[in-house]
Amino acid sequence: MYGVFKKAGIKPWLALIPIVNLYFWLKAIQRPMWWFVFIAIPYFGVFMLMLMTWKTIRMFDKTRYASLVPGTFFSFIYIPYLGFSKKEKFYTMENIPAVEMGFWHSKPLHNKKKAGEKELKFVKSKVREWSDAIIYAAVAAYIIRTFLMEFYVIPTSSMEGTLMVGDYLAVSKVAYGPKFPQTPIAIPFVHHTVPLTKFTKAYWDKLQVAYYRFNGLHGVERNDAVVFNYPDGDTVILEHQNQSYYAIMRQIKSDLSNRYDYYAGMEYDFAKQQYHVVARPVDKRENYVKRCVAIHGDTLQLKNAVLYINNKEAYQPPNMQWRYIVVFDRYDVNEKTRKQLNINEEDHGQISYNSAIYHINKEQAAKIKTYPNILSIKADIAADTVYEEAIFPHDGRFRWNVDNFGPIIIPQKGMTVTLNDSTIQLYKRIIKNYEGNDLQIVNGKIFINGELSDSYTFQMNYYWLMGDNRHNSADSRYWGFVPENHIVGKASFAWLSLDKFKTLTEGKIRWKRMFRKVKTS
């Protein structure tokens, strides 16, 4: 701003004094001093500085969008050019009654009253006035969405009965500190796919910015309901975006492994031939919401569906759900019972003509026992001898399942672990995918960035997130650790709740859930 101040008739050295320079910048562009208040608001001040830059460019008789838009986003180049170029002149500005001077852009009227005195009057067409207003509003909304708060709707029942299908969440970016967009060139207000298309990307991933998070009110805490980018979503089959690519690959490998012509990696070649397979940057992966049950440095273990953190039984949300097998004496009792308990269709499954699976909480299970025509109800807890290949780390040496898991230590920045043929299965995805190292395992030996390694020091903090609907949630038990650079924000409250399984007359709007704070302890 040194050159701009000089041309505006303000002592240029004032541009070198922090905060003071903002005051004189407002004077230079003839804006009211109350703007100074908005500059001081965290994150929103970014928008105000962009607006001031826009106004500064206009003072140099640059009124077309072709100058204003790129000049604002690349102000670190354009403003010094305007300030120090001998060809560019700074003008004063007056507000005068609007006169039709053009359709899409305003035109300047030069009026030199005396030799050496420069004055520039801007007039706008109505279309241009509305265009500017829309641009300002869109930029303000984008700043709020990126740095302050974003809104999401919950499509699945993985957090029932804390967060329900159809809850519209307000997610605070300020709580943990907002991330600077890692994929900055993208269609605003669109996540990863262009609307009304199946596979068209809404971003340009050739330019990636290093991960940076602004300071927040606090770090991620145990029991927070956290919105995050799905870690397993770094690669996606577009025809099956709601499924884990790696889970699909394991299934395809299992199906193909019995073929006489099978070769290592055949499943990946098969997927590329049959589907659209794409890689996605961190901030363009699907958004999930789960409860953070363990933070970096914690030791986690599940015993018979009971969660322990650091050898102590963990907090259980009041309405946490498990899977129960219910047996009836008649077929029609099933549907009647489901409606009595208000169980949604995603938490219910028919087994046979007189038995069903219910995902319900302990209070609901106790109530079912009192109903007539119920023969039995039993929690469907996996035995500790059962091994589930779908469970992380998908290796037979860790014979874990959804209800019996661990113990496992959640990695912490600066922590060093010993690597061998067993532990590498727990941490290979961190080393290679999340922290960007070249990892090779040759004849049982581990090479990281070309060097033989028997240990590794983590570069980021990690978290363990699980759904409150414990037996109907795809969470860290299936895909492991959540890196800190995948954290989006904290689920603060539900501002609207619509039951997608009901009509308006049946009680579609859940009035009691509106503006209810998300319970964390």
pLDDT tens-digit series, residues 258-281 = 888 899 889 999 999 999 999 999
Reference 346, options 503, 156, 153; nearest CA is 156
- Is the separation of the CB atoms in 252 and 274 below 8 Å? no
* Confidence category of residue 38, pLDDT binned at 50, 70, 90: confident
Res 109 pLDDT > 60? no
The region that residue 350 occupies, defined by phi over 0 for left and psi between -120 and 50 for alpha, beta otherwise, is beta
Calpha distance 461→463 (Å, rounded): 7
Calpha distance 268→313 (Å, rounded): 41
* 86-98 pLDDT tens trace: 999 998 754 333 3
3-state secondary structure of 385: coil
462 is written with which tokens? 């990690």
Res 58 pLDDT > 70? yes
Give kind and range of the element (H or E) at residue 312: strand 312-313
- Is the separation of the CB atoms in 446 and 453 below 8 Å? yes
Q: Where are the domains of the chain?
A: 2-146
Cα 141 to chain centroid, rounded: 17
Res 212 pLDDT > 80? yes
Q: What is the mean pLDDT of the chain?
A: 88
Place of tokens 């700074």: 90
512 is written with which tokens? 């009691």
Dmax (CA) for the chain in angstroms is: 101
The type of residue at 95 is N
The type of residue at 518 is V
Q: What burial letters (b/e) apply to 95-104, b meaning 16+ CB within 10 Å?
A: eeeeeeeeee
Calpha distance 446→418 (Å, rounded): 11
Cα 501 to chain centroid, rounded: 26
Q: Kindly state the percentage of the chain with pLDDT values over 90.
A: 64
Can you give the pLDDT at residue 389? 93
Reference 47, options 128, 180, 184, 147; nearest CA is 147
Place of tokens 């999340």: 434
What's the order of all strands across the beta sheet hosting 92-95?
A: 92-95, 119-123, 107-110
